[in-house]
Every structure is written in C-alpha cells, then in structure tokens.
Amino acid sequence: MASELAHSPAMSDALVILGAAGIVIPVFTRFRITPVIGFILIGIAVGPYGLGRLAFEHDWLQYFTITDPAGLEPFAEFGIILLLFTIGLELSFDRLWQMRRLVFGLGALELLIIGSVIATFLAILGQYWTGALALGFALAFSSTAIVLPIAGTNSPVGRAALSMLLFEDLMIVPIVFVLGAMAPHAQSEGWEGLVETLWQGGLVIVGLLVVGRIALPRLFAQAARTKSPELFLAASMLVVIGASLATAAVGLSPIVGALIAGLLIAETEYHGEVEGIMNPFKGLALGIFLITVGMSIDLTMIWAHLGMILLAVVMVLVFKAIVTSLLLRLMGARRSTAAETGVLMASPSETTLIVLAAASSAMLIQPGTAQFWQIVTAIGLTVTPLLARFGRMIARRVEPVPHIAPDESGEPRTIIVGAGRVGRLVADMLAAHGKPYVALDSDADLIEEAKRAGYHTAFGDAARGDALSRLDVETAPAVVLTMDEPVLAQRLTTKLRKTYPNLLIVARARDTEHAAALYRAGASHAVPETLESSLQLSEAVLVDIGVAMGPVIASIHEKRDEFRIQIERDGALDYKPKLRASSLPVSQ
C-alpha cells in the first residue's frame, strides 16, 4: 500500500507542490521578494516544458516534476475563488456602494477602451475582426489573483485597482457568451443563452443575499458556540463552495458567488475568525495557480520567437499602463496614484487565458495564435510584481509621497488612524493640551491637505504592513481609530488588541450596535456618532429653553455613562464600575 502511494502520480504532484511552498515562501520572504515570482519559476522548472522534458529519459526526475498538469487546474481555480472570497471579507456592502462610480464608470471605460483599441490594432495587422475582438478584450483584463494581494484594498491604488478588477470579473461571463455567439456554428443560441444566464443569475444573486443575511449569522453563531476550529472551517468552506456552485450552476462565474459570500460574512461579527482560518488555504491554492501559470511557459518557443514575444509584451504593458493612468487622471486621481495603478494593472490576467481558450474553441482564432498570446500572458503575469515596484518608483518621482513627520519632542505620540474631519478634530484637542500625536492615512490627498494645514501626519496603510510599528505603536499612549469604515475599524481593533494587549484603543463607531461589536473586538472605548449627536442636541435645547448649564452638563455626563454601560453589556463585556480618567468621548 505504501509503495502504491509513493508511486501515485497525484501523491507525487502533491509532494512537489508542498515542497515548492516550503522552499519558495521562506526563501523569497527572507529576501523581501514576493513569492509570486518564486511560484511561477517553480512552475517553469517542474512543468512539462522544464524538467518534464527530461523525465522520460531519467525516471528519478518524475519525483520532481508535475506528472498531471491538467489535474491541478481545479485546485488553481479554487485558489482564485478563495481569493475573491477573502476580498469580499475585507469589503462591505456600504463600501461597495460607495465605489459604484469607480466600478461602473472607471472599470467600464478601462475595459472597453483598451479592448477596442487593441482589437482595432490587431485587425489592421490582418487578424479577422471577430478574432481581433476576442484578443483585444482578453488582453484588456488584469490579474485579480496577483494585483490585489500586492495593492490591498484600502490604499488609493488598491481601491482604484479593485474597482476595475470587480467590473472585469463581472464581465467575464458576458464576454465568453458573446464569443460563443460569434462562432460560425452558433449564432442565435449564444445570445439566447446569454439572456437566460443573466436573468437566472440575477435571481440566484438575490436569493444568496436574502438567505445569507438570515442564515449566516445563525450558522456561524452555532459554530462559535462549539468552540471547534474544525467546525468553523467546515462552515466557511460550505458557504464559499455553496455560493460558488450556485452561481456556476446558472452559467455565471463561480467567483461572483465567492465574492457575495465574502461580503455577507463581512457584515457579521465572525469575519475576522473566518479570514484567519481561510488565509492558509487561500495562500496554498493561489500558489498552485501560479505554478500552473509557470507550467504554461515554453522556454524553447520563447527563444524561437523571442523578438515578437518581447515586442508584444512591451506593447501591451505600455499601452495598458498609459490608458489606465490617463483614465484615472480624468476621474480625478492624483498623478502618483494614476501612475502607480496604471503600471500595476498593465499586465494581462489569468482571465485572459480563459477568454483565449473560449475564443480558440469557438474557432475565432487559430491554435498557434492562442498559444502565442498565452505565452505573452504568462510572461506578463510573471513580471507583475516587478511592475508593482516600478510603478511605486514612478509614483515617487511624479509626486513625492509625504514622509512621516519628525518627532522633535521625543515623547511617545498618540496615533490617530485617519486624517479626515474627525481625525483632525482629535488632533486639535490633543495639541490644545500639549499632547504629541501623528495622524496616519493611506490617502495621499488627505495627507497633503493636512500637512498644509499644519498637522503632523504620516503616509501608510494601518491595515497592512508595518505602518503602525514604524510609528512606535508599542510605546504609543493610545491609538484612535477615526475612519468611517466599520468593517476595517473592527478588523484593525482585533489585530491591535491581539498584538498589543495593554494598548489603549479608542474607536469611532457608527451606532451603538457597531460600538458593541468594537468592544467585542477589543476596543477600550467605542464612541457612537449617533449617540454623541443626540447628547449634543439635547444639551443645546436644554440650555436654550432656560435650564442652568451646570445641571445640564451633569445630566449629559450621567446619560453618557448609562449608554456606555449598556453598550459594554451588549458587547458581552463584564462591566465593573470604575473611575476612568481617560474615558472622555472622542469629539465628532
């Protein structure tokens, strides 16, 4: 039995992949290089065009190669599904609604302009117009699987990239159906299938939203009561796979269902636990996807057509970078944000390979043409991390990023996360009492505006990287979260409390329910906007109708304490009355 397992192709491939992950991740992390490049290089080495060529002559090489490349494709697709699921966990429906202008404005313009211009250029070069359209829109896609882990979703670059990538993901199914409709053997059936898929897909999405809002909080609450990580993992897998299968069953992309599942769970209090459990699986599955990308690169064919392939890669990258940057500038983005996002989004996508396969099966392009552009796509995916670095270099040259304000006093500083209206008001109050502070924000526009107004600011994304540690968060008297993003505030509170158990965390909350959730996440104090507005209104009306100021202020403080006690109870905290010298609410 052991001998059979040792010679099993599936077991051999699994060992190669696990071995690759064990080598790539620590080595590339040690040298601060993204593992993306490492996985792709491993794919080149262990694939059919690498060591696989020699495995027929040397049997021992079979233990170091992928013997069944097609068998990895379902796992690679699952990696992209898990990626979209975790992206949904980082978002919320409110945030998605706020991005609608970027998604359906910027995203639509980017895809249509780039796809149309590339198609026109290829048609001029002699490609038949249907094949040119297929190639144009295939190359217009950018890589969700590589771009978003690099850019994140909270920085200006990440938000711009996310909006375009979301629109591209929504357009996968219509584009594939249109290509099928343009096939010589299927004209009317394709259009009828598209209409049927759209209305059925709409019903499935509405059903997922309704059922998810009702069932998911109960499902995860039950899993949490058992205190079993295995059950939590099983529930998470059930949700993401079930939602993906539901959308795939009606012809939509499974990643649409995965994104919706993530958005629904993000609205619950269990999103942090789900994200932590799913991250290792997402990383390994994405590694498998990147290995499959590397396996598709035929180095001998690249060498035989090196000039044409390099020319095609450079032209696609430069053209997409220029168009995306110009569109972002027209939409009001800063020069640095437009330049960095344009370069980052320049490479083709894993979706490009899907569209190329659909165009080839519909006989819109020749197999040789499809293979040529598949190699161009694979090379583009490989250099995406290098494009990210190049984009940051260009952004710094185009518009220097503000640096962290020097700490002249040497005193520990309160860190204010968010340099908007609320963050500046907190900074004003700290400065009025002689307390040093620094306001951290990932929006370069806000940073520059705050600097001009005389505030001490730092550029960085508190949710990613070492932005807070660079500001000496371990010695900070307090961290004040002022952002108007409930999901992000809750996630950052959990992260800070886990890393710094004794840190004072004061968080802005939208309402009392959000405040209770922040307390559960570990906030020292959570101040609901709605509560403070009501108390200030009450104070104004009482004073203006003749009640003495002293009793009014006393009653306002008493009412505030009552609400705080109730919110802490709703947050499942054991309340113990105590004197809180630092419990003054954050001004709104």
Instruction: Give the distance, in angstroms, between the CA of residue 447 and the centroid of all CA atoms in the same chain.
Output: 23
Q: Please give the Cα distance from 447 to 223 (Å, whole number).
A: 42
Q: Is 420 exposed, middle or buried (0-12, 13-18, 19+ CB in 10 A)?
A: middle
DSSP letters spanning 110-171 = HHHHHHHHHHHHHHHTT--HHHHHHHHHHHH---HHHHHHHH-SSSHHHHHHHHHHHHHHHH
Q: So what's the pLDDT on residue 38?
A: 76
Q: So what's the pLDDT on residue 265?
A: 84
Is 3.40.50.720 the CATH classification of the domain at 414-570?
yes
pTM reported for the whole predicted model: 0.61
Q: So what's the pLDDT on residue 119?
A: 92
**414-570 matches 68-398 in CATH topology:** no
Question: What sign does the dihedral 181-183-188-190 (CA atoms) show?
Answer: negative
Strands 479-481, 457-459: pairing kind: unpaired
Strand order in the sheet with 414-417: 457-459, 437-441, 414-417, 479-481, 505-509, 525-528
Q: So what's the pLDDT on residue 144?
A: 79
- Give me the numbers of helices (H) and strands (E) for the chain, helices first please: 27, 6
CATH code at 68-398: 1.20.1530.20
Q: So what's the pLDDT on residue 89?
A: 77
User: What are the residue ranges spanned by the domains of the chain?
Assistant: 1-67, 68-398, 414-570
Cα–Cα distances in Å, from 585 out to 333, 356, 557, 580, 581? 35, 57, 10, 11, 11
Q: Would you give per-residue pLDDT tens digits along the chain (588 residues)?
A: 444 444 566 677 677 777 777 777 677 766 666 676 777 788 888 777 777 776 666 666 666 777 667 777 777 777 778 777 877 776 667 767 777 788 888 888 999 999 999 999 999 988 888 888 889 988 999 887 778 777 776 677 888 888 888 888 777 767 777 776 676 655 445 456 657 777 787 888 889 888 888 888 888 888 777 777 788 788 888 888 898 888 888 877 787 788 788 888 877 777 777 877 777 777 777 777 778 777 877 788 888 888 999 999 999 999 999 999 999 988 888 888 888 899 999 988 877 877 887 787 778 888 788 888 888 888 888 888 888 888 888 887 876 654 544 555 567 888 988 888 888 888 887 887 788 888 888 776 677 778 777 788 887 777 765 678 878 888 888 898 888 777 788 888 888 888 888 888 888 887 777 888 888 888 888 878 766 666 566 656 656 666 777 776 777 667 667 766 766 666 555 444 333 333 333 333
